[in-house]
Amino acid sequence: MAKERRQVVRFLFLKLDPAWRRLPAAEQAEQKEEFGRTIKSFHAKLLLRTYSTVGTRGDSDLLLWQAAENLETLQRLETAVFSTRLGSYFSVAYSYLGMTRKSIYQFPDDPKHEEQLVVQPADNKYLFVYPFVKSRPWYALPKEHRQTAMDEHVRIGRKYPSIRLNTIYSYGLDDQEHVVAFEGDDPGDFLDLVMELRESEASSYTLRDTPTLVCIQMSLWEALDTLGGATVQQFLDLAPAAANGLTPVADVSEVPLGGSKRVYLGTDAIALFNVGGKFYACSDRCTHGRASLSEGVVDPTTCILTCPWHGGKFELATGRPAGGPPVAPVKTYNVKVEGERILVG
């Protein structure tokens, strides 16, 4: 198996200064557009999902959920955001930093606990986020005991198949131990799940799991319009597509002969390959599990991609499965090289 390649993940919650709402309407619209265009300029560099917390929290208005290859990208994004005129009216309400990694517990029978080394958000309407800290006595329990307690957790989670869990690890990186982010379409399902989990043994070792933030997924422009003020609905084209519908995602020099790279297109992670000087792009997520296909191996003679986890094979040109566990094709993208830029769409 290829070496574990993790992502850094950040949940940045922003609160707007109410003074912004008293600015002239034309200025508000201009500032929203500048803010959105600034975020758009980071598209190929990280995965970014936007959520509004207007109407669900009094102390936060906007969530930028980010997943990148390194901390510096997160830093550059925040510097750029706060350098805009609208950014000068935002303050950080909450910030949770962590990384993806494999669980130390085994969940062989539970597809919901596939290893999540690459953040791949679903399209659910709601995201429920909270930081999480276990009490120290939890870590003093024998590993087998903790595994049994986690098995109970999984059994309860299985009763709520509509709720999907993302677990981020923050040990040593931030104040909490984990950030948990549940995706779902029905807040009632999540409420019932959390109530039932309270009765589990593992829950008795929880030291802190607040604040809980209920976030509503929407495009950046829609999220900005939930802040009030002049609307920017006319700028709904968030994706920085070129005239031909393709978007620059990397430089040719970043993907050498025989190499690969994970890039981002809007809210999707894409695996980019250079096979014999020709570039191919497909979804970074294997259709069998959650392996990152950019970490797979391509046979240059057959152009068959082998998944790094269970050996699933795909035809890189078409995405069709060509062996191993996957049965569904992986999505492929058009690729074009213009000068030094690789464009995908």
Q: Which of 5, 310, 320, 336 binds ligand FES (CB under 6 A)?
A: 310
Helical H segments across 169-325, by residue range: 187-197, 220-225
**Closer CB to ligand FES, residue 248 or residue 296?**
296
Q: Please state the closest distance from residue 325 (CB atom) to ligand FES, in A.
A: 5
CA angle 55, 61, 66 (to 5 degrees): 125
Instruction: Give the number of other Cβ atoms within 10 Å of residue 86's Cβ.
Output: 25
**Closer CB to ligand FES, residue 87 or residue 326?**
326
CA distance linking residue 283 with residue 261, whole number of Å: 12
Q: Secondary structure of 89-116 in the HEC alphabet? A: HEEEEEEEEEECCCCCCCCCCCHHHCCC
CB 279 within 8 A of CB 335: yes
CA distance linking residue 225 with residue 214, whole number of Å: 18
Q: Please state the closest distance from residue 167 (CB atom) to ligand FES, in A.
A: 18
Total site size for ligand FES, rule CB under 6 A: 11
Q: Please state the closest distance from residue 277 (CB atom) to ligand FES, in A.
A: 26
Phi-psi label, residue 319: left if phi above 0, alpha if psi -120 to 50, beta otherwise: left
329 lines the binding site for ligand FES (CB under 6 A) = no
**Closer CB to ligand FES, residue 1 or residue 257?**
1
Q: What is the DSSP string of 126-175?
A: EEEEEEEEE-HHHHHS-HHHHHHHHHHHHHHHHT-TT-EEEEEE-TTTSS
Q: Which of 309, 319, 343, 344 binds ligand FES (CB under 6 A)?
A: 309
- Span interacting with ligand FES, options 24-32, 186-194, 235-243, 322-330, rule CB under 6 A: 322-330
Q: Which of 62, 64, 93, 286 binds ligand FES (CB under 6 A)?
A: 286
- Span interacting with ligand FES, options 149-157, 166-174, 251-259, 320-328, rule CB under 6 A: 320-328
Interface residues with ligand FES (CB under 6 A)?
286, 288-289, 291, 307, 309-310, 312, 324-326
